[in-house]
Amino acid sequence: MTDARKSGQAIEMLQRVPIFSGLNKKYLKNVAEKRTEQTFGAGQTIVREGELGFGLFLVLEGATEVRKSSKVVAKLGRGQFFGELSLLDKQMRSADVVAGLVLAPLLKIRR
């Protein structure tokens, strides 16, 4: 996939995130240009409860599990996101997020 196509996909996904939904394409493009892509293996921890948050993650493919005290409280798949509040404040992560049974490529947007 070309970088332009990836950027377009990132913009589409960002438009669905409530804190970005009011931004026009120019600003969304600016945010999308700051993205990085990371892939996590099955069972790999993406963020840990109690760690300082540093950015938003968008699930490109696969699935992730949100866990509190080792109990799965939510499952997130393609197009869903987590960590959006860390773009606004410097709070600690409220849960662990772990890659599901397949590889989970994610877009990361740092503050």
Q: How far is the C-alpha of 80 from the C-alpha of 59, rounded, in Å?
A: 6
46-18-92-105 Cα dihedral, nearest 10 degrees: 10
What are the tens digits of pLDDT across the range 83-100?
988 888 878 999 999 999
User: Residue 44 is part of which domain span?
Assistant: 3-110
pLDDT band of 5, cuts 50, 70, 90:
low
In angstroms, what CA-CA distances link 32 with 15, 37, 57?
11, 11, 12
Give the β-pairing of 45-47 and 35-40: unpaired
pLDDT in the model for residue 1: 58
Q: CATH number of the domain that 21 lies in?
A: 2.60.120.10
How far is residue 32's CA from residue 44's CA, in Å, rounded to a whole number? 25
At 20-72, the pLDDT tens digits run 889 999 999 988 888 888 999 999 999 999 999 888 899 988 999 999 999 99
Number of domains in the chain: 1
Q: What is the pLDDT of residue 81?
A: 93
